[in-house]
């Protein structure tokens, strides 16, 4: 049963992350459909299936087991959110800031540069969106739907993260001489 839940969530997360990257490419980066990088979308989706879904699911199960059930739903939600945003968000954001450019073929030096350029911006924006979203999630959404809820919110977040973590790659491509 647990494997089935991991697979279901993995496919859901992969689909939503792929959609987020597609939105980033077509609507934020204003690429034409012919210029859409399907490989980039598939890599971002695979990262959702292989890394994001299992890590987030295990984290939520850990939080569920550690926060006292005697608290009210709102108290539990706030405590989980604070723990999530202090202990999970910074290293998870760092991991994503490393993994996305690596799976897109960037060198270690480029990854280091990207982290220096974008990590704190992404983390700061994280704190504008996720605390409220997580209080709602942890207070009112049943544990079996929490990863899915987060991924629906993350559709917009993933568009932003994909754009930020692919920005240098886009700037590098724009600096290449254009040939007819």
Q: Quick one: tokens of 84? A: 């999530």
Q: What would the DSSP string read from start to end of 33-82?
A: GGG--HHHHHHHHHHIIIIIHHHHHHHHHHHHHHS-TTS-HHHHHHHHHH
How many angstroms separate the CA atoms of 1 and 63, rounded? 20
Q: Give the pLDDT of residue 180.
A: 43
- Work out the pLDDT band at 176, boundaries 50, 70, 90: very low
Domain count within the chain: 1
Residues spanned by the domain of 77: 2-166
Convert the pLDDT of each residue in 82-134 to its tens digit.
999 999 999 999 999 999 999 999 999 999 998 998 899 989 999 999 999 99
pLDDT surpasses 80 at 168: no
Q: CA end-to-end span of the chain, whole Å?
A: 55
């Amino acid at each position: 049963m647990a494997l089935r839940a991991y697979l279901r969530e993995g496919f859901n997360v992969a689909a939503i992350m792929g959609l987020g990257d597609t939105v980033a490419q077509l609507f934020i980066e204003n690429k034409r459909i012919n210029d859409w990088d399907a490989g980039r979308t598939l890599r971002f989706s695979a990262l959702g299936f292989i890394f994001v879904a299992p890590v987030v699911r295990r984290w939520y199960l850990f939080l569920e087991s550690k926060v006292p059930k005697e608290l009210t739903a709102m108290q539990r939600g706030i405590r989980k959110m604070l723990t999530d945003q202090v202990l999970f968000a910074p290293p998870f954001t760092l991991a994503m800031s490393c993994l996305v450019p690596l799976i897109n073929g960037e060198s270690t030096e480029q990854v280091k540069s990207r982290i220096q350029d974008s990590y704190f911006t992404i983390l700061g924006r994280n704190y504008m969106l996720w605390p409220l979203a997580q209080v709602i999630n942890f207070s009112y959404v049943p544990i079996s739907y929490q990863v899915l809820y987060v991924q629906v919110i993350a559709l917009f977040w993933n568009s932003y993260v994909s754009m930020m973590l692919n920005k240098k790659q886009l700037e590098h491509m724009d600096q290449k001489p254009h040939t007819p």
